[in-house]
Amino acid sequence: MQFVVYAAGASGEVEVGVAAVSLEALLEDGRDHALAPVSVKHNNVEVARLSVAVKALAALRAITKQAAAGPALVVQVSELHLLRAESAGAAPRDAWVAIDVPGEPEREG
């Protein structure tokens, strides 16, 4: 699962970096990802920290057992700390996080 961090400043919208939580690792470890900081990286350099929690173990287990219906996937994003202002285009006016779950179809709001 990828968390793409964006910021908007005087120069427009810019992608700050990407953080990831491996759903495969959750399944292998047998536990959900508790709320904790995850590194946001751009060109392999940490540019921010994003506090996230991913509660997906029950859903992943249900999927692997080919269950017809299973528990929901729960994702919590609580904090974003930009470490390098230049990655966000000097002084960003806004910052946000887009969440990408590989294999999920895009949904229109």
pLDDT band at residue 7 using 50, 70 and 90 as cut-offs = confident
Dig out the tokens for 97 from the structure: 């996080």
Q: What share of the chain is helix, strand, coil (3-state, %, to 5)?
A: 15, 50, 35
What was the pLDDT predicted at 109? 46
In tens, the pLDDT along 72-89 reads 566 767 777 777 655 555
Round to whole Å and give the CA distance between 17 and 50: 11
For 25-31, what is the mean pLDDT? Answer: 91
Q: Which domain holds residue 40?
A: 2-14+22-100
Q: Is the pLDDT of residue 66 over 90?
A: no
Q: 108 lies in a domain? A: no
Q: 106 lies in a domain? A: no
What total number of domains does the chain contain? 1
Distances (CA, A) of 75 to 36, 54, 85: 12, 5, 26
